């Protein structure tokens, strides 16, 4: 009888201890529980920091401002897509007291179009000339180009150098020339005329080359 009472006393004490432990746990720090988030993607506000590796998708919203810090030593290359590139040209023309030389162009006409583009104007950028005068005591003073721009006709003179005298089959000749960087303009559809200014020359020849670009639009 006494042994049975002792067992009931131990069982009651054990049950009381378990109830007290459970009550203390409930009153203290809660046990972490797993959370299942169903509203994905989950919006986040405030400051967000990322660590580790991987890709992050960032959608653009509104206009972005971009700063370019390239200096003069490393400029950013740009291209004007509305500007049609210029097209180069060159002509070789002759002025001769002898029979015509068919290797030379006879006329310089500024075209109205080049390919599929319209010509705004011809730009002459370089002029060279090589002239031989007979007799050597006289000389070509220079060559001339005549251009038309905006309906205005202008003559441009290019003086030759003093030249040198040579004996060609018993005939003394003076060879003169020039090489001149210039900037002349001519309207499309007009003709560029050429000639030489000289004194007392009975024979001779001038070979003239002009080069530049057609400005297109």
pLDDT tens by residue, 127-185: 999 988 876 666 667 899 999 999 999 999 999 998 888 887 777 788 889 999 999 99
- The domain tally of the chain equals 1
Q: Is residue 27 a part of any domain in this protein?
A: no
Q: Is residue 200 a part of any domain in this protein?
A: yes
Q: What is the pLDDT of residues 77-123, one digit of tens each?
A: 887 766 778 999 999 998 887 766 777 777 899 999 999 899 999 99
Please give the average per-residue pLDDT across 185-195, as a whole number: 95
Q: Is residue 38 a part of any domain in this protein?
A: no
Separation CA 95–CA 203 (nearest Å):
11
Label residue 4 by pLDDT band (50, 70, 90).
low
Label residue 16 by pLDDT band (50, 70, 90).
very low
Separation CA 209–CA 214 (nearest Å):
16
Q: Is residue 190 a part of any domain in this protein?
A: yes
| Average pLDDT of the chain to the nearest whole number | 80
Q: What integer pLDDT is reported at residue 136 of this predicted model?
A: 63
Q: Is residue 119 a part of any domain in this protein?
A: yes
Domain range for 134 is 87-216
pTM equals 0.59
**More confident position, 27 or 42:** 42
Q: What integer pLDDT is reported at residue 90 of this predicted model?
A: 96
Q: Is residue 47 a part of any domain in this protein?
A: no
Label residue 192 by pLDDT band (50, 70, 90).
very high
Please give the average per-residue pLDDT across 13-28, as a whole number: 51
Assess contact for 174 and 165: CB atoms under 8 A: yes
- Please state, as a whole number, how many other Cβ atoms lie within 10 Å of the Cβ of residue 104: 16
Q: Is residue 150 a part of any domain in this protein?
A: yes
Query: Residues 143, 106, 141, CA angle at the centre, nearest 5°?
Result: 10
CATH number at residue 199: 2.60.120
Q: Is residue 59 a part of any domain in this protein?
A: no
């Amino acid at each position: 009888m006494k042994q049975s009472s002792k067992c009931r006393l131990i069982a009651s004490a054990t049950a009381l201890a378990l109830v007290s432990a459970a009550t203390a746990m409930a009153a203290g720090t809660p046990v972490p529980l797993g959370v299942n988030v169903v509203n994905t993607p989950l919006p986040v506000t405030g400051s967000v920091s990322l660590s580790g590796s991987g890709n992050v998708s960032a959608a653009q919203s509104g206009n972005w401002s971009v700063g370019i810090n390239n200096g003069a030593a490393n400029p950013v290359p740009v291209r004007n897509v509305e500007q049609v590139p210029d097209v180069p040209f060159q002509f070789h023309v002759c002025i001769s007291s002898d029979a015509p030389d068919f290797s030379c162009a006879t006329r310089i006409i500024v075209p109205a179009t080049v390919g599929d583009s319209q010509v705004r104007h011809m730009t002459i950028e370089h002029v060279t000339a090589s002239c031989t005068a007979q007799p050597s005591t006289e000389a070509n003073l220079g060559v001339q180009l005549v251009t038309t721009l905006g309906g205005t006709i202008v003559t441009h003179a290019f003086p030759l150098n003093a030249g040198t005298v040579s004996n060609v089959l018993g005939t003394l000749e003076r060879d003169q020339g020039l090489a001149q960087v210039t900037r002349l303009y001519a309207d499309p559809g007009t003709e560029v005329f050429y000639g030489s200014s000289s004194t007392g020359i009975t024979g001779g020849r001038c070979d003239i080359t002009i080069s530049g670009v057609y400005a297109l639009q």
